[in-house]
Amino acid sequence: MSVYLAIDLGAGSGRVIAGVVSGGKFSLDEINRFENVPDERDGGLFWNFESLWSGVVEGLKISVAKYGAETIRSIGVDAWGVDYGLIDENGELIAVPRHYRDARNKQAMDEVCEAVSRKEIFEKTGLQFMQINTLFQMAAARKHEPELLDDAAQFLLIPDLINLRLTGKALCERTNASTTQFYNPVKKRWSVKLFEKIGASLEKTPQLIEAGESLGPVKGDIATETGLLSHTQVVTVGSHDTASAVAAVPADGDKNFAYLSSGSWSLLGVELDQPILSELARKHNFTNEVGVFDTIRLLKNINGMWLVQECRRVWAENGDVWSFEELAGMARTAEPLRSLVDPDDQRFSTRADMPQMIVDFCQESGQAIPETPAQILRTLMDSLAMKCAHVLERLEEVIGHRVEVLHIIGGGGRNDMLSQCIANSINRPVVVGPYEATAAGNLMMQMVACGELDSLAEGRAMIRSSFETKCFEPQDDAEWKQAYERFCQLVPT
């Protein structure tokens, strides 16, 4: 038996997961889970990085106690994209990392796009324009806290900061580098001009490393604190959590599929061999992110279960505490397709009174107003499904052919009603699973780094043999087509 440890950090929580490999299959064992709660202070939104690190260390200790240090072959880290920390010459953080939803990023995005045209930025990076991107975050830092950028020796993305503490190596894995809007996917290096445009030095960029390589053993103090053996390897995986998740899509050799990584964000896209930097791709605001094994993930970020999470938070603050399972049950009781919203409307991008904002959107657009939590939730489920159809339609324009099947991976796939709604909206089959795709893809790439797997196809074959999937066929075609026409009037063309 071999054990691989996946450190999987999400925008809502972090986990350490053990992948136990036996008989050509692997099973997942969640070792611990810890909250990742942003900290609002001094007019900004920050991550509690030290709390995350404590959860990681605790998970490693528990893993050693449960499985024994001698069975643990390697450790791999993935996390959400775009957010970064600034470190000094000794590898210490000089400031708390800011949250990608920090309000100052919107103005920074406008200012950068005035200095450099969107066309030029897209040609150099192939990335979707979102105010959360590292490019705009760093431009905001240059404007509001210039001394931090001046004093920093280097910037590192969140998973790379964890790897630094584990190994002492300050490197940036390529899949996450591609989320920054500083990375050129054609030349496969940092974009010098964009750094210069925001007044940052290219000397502060970390060296790039591929997924599936070894960073080296854990540091001595980490081995002592956790009980890990001193030769336990830390390896690079698809450190952008979506890259790990897409690696675990259980596709069987057929490239004619799309995927939806469903969580706080919904990321809908296809897997390609080369980036698409066409004017149509830019017009529709698609992004070219790097995948494992030198693939490209052409996709679009859509607001996902974040909308439900924010509604749940607001209701809880008002005394109504419901689990996500209860919320899903409530949504099923409400009339379908009564009201629709654009999940990517600007108002939904920051923390606020989400239920009221949904009501406001419906009122302003002349629709039936959702009056109960169940109606609000049903509005969100239907709207998320419609947005998937809208994005898929434009994705097919960009790639020039029809997608035959959609794979839903990630925790959002547990919501059967949402999966059925998506099948209805896109009018084609939906295959759901694995739910723990990010962890599965992380562990798969650890096995690549350790020489146990040789290719993406071999890894996906192991995924198929290790996890069950569900299939949803489209229903009520005429009703959903009519509702889609209404939805298209609510969103930008």
| Residue at 106 is within a domain | yes
DSSP element (H, E) containing 226: helix 220-226
Q: Is the dihedral of CA 118, 119, 124, 127 positive or negative?
A: positive
* Whether residue 291 is found in the same domain as residue 200: no
Contact 170, 144 (CB under 8 A): no
Mark whether 151 is an active-site residue: no
Pairing mode of beta strands 189-190, 183-184 = antiparallel
**Are 10 and 88 part of one and the same domain?**
yes
In a domain, 443, yes or no: no
Residues 70 and 153 in one domain: yes
Residues 167 and 293 in one domain: no
Are 218 and 271 found together in one domain? no
Q: Is residue 445 part of a domain?
A: no
Assigned domain for 444 exists = no
The domain in which residue 304 lies consists of 249-433+454-493
What whole-number distance in Å separates Cα of residue 309 and Cα of residue 319? 15
Residue 446 domain-assigned (yes or no): no
Question: The CATH number of the domain where 232 resides is what?
Answer: 3.30.420.40
Same domain, 230 and 360: no
DSSP 98: B
- φ, ψ of residue 6 in degrees (nearest 5): -100, 120
Domain boundary among 241, 266, 282: 241
The beta-carbon contacts of 352-360 under 8 Å, at least 24 apart in sequence, are 352/310, 353/314, 354/307, 354/310, 354/311, 354/313, 354/314, 355/311, 355/314, 355/315, 358/307, 358/311
Q: How far, in whole angstroms, is CA 18 from its chain's centroid?
A: 20
Q: Which of 241, 264, 286 is the last residue of a domain?
A: 241
Are 463 and 386 found together in one domain?
A: yes
Report the alpha-carbon distance of residue 113 to residue 306 in Å, rounded.
27
Residue type, 428: R
Q: pLDDT in tens for each of the 493 residues of the chain? A: 899 999 999 988 999 999 999 999 999 999 999 999 999 999 999 999 999 999 999 999 999 999 999 999 999 999 999 999 999 999 999 999 999 999 999 999 999 999 999 999 999 999 999 999 999 999 999 999 999 999 999 999 999 999 999 999 999 999 999 999 999 999 999 998 898 889 888 789 999 999 999 999 999 999 999 999 999 999 999 999 999 999 999 999 776 999 999 988 899 999 999 999 999 999 999 999 999 999 999 999 999 999 999 999 999 999 999 999 999 999 999 999 999 999 999 999 888 999 999 999 999 999 999 999 999 999 999 999 999 999 999 999 999 999 999 999 999 999 999 999 999 999 999 999 999 999 999 999 999 999 999 999 999 999 999 999 999 999 999 999 999 999 999 999 7
Residue 439 lies in a domain: no
In a domain, residue 440? The reply is no
pTM as predicted = 0.94
Could you give the number of structural domains in the chain? 2
> Which residue among 241, 342, 344, 382 is the active-site one?
241
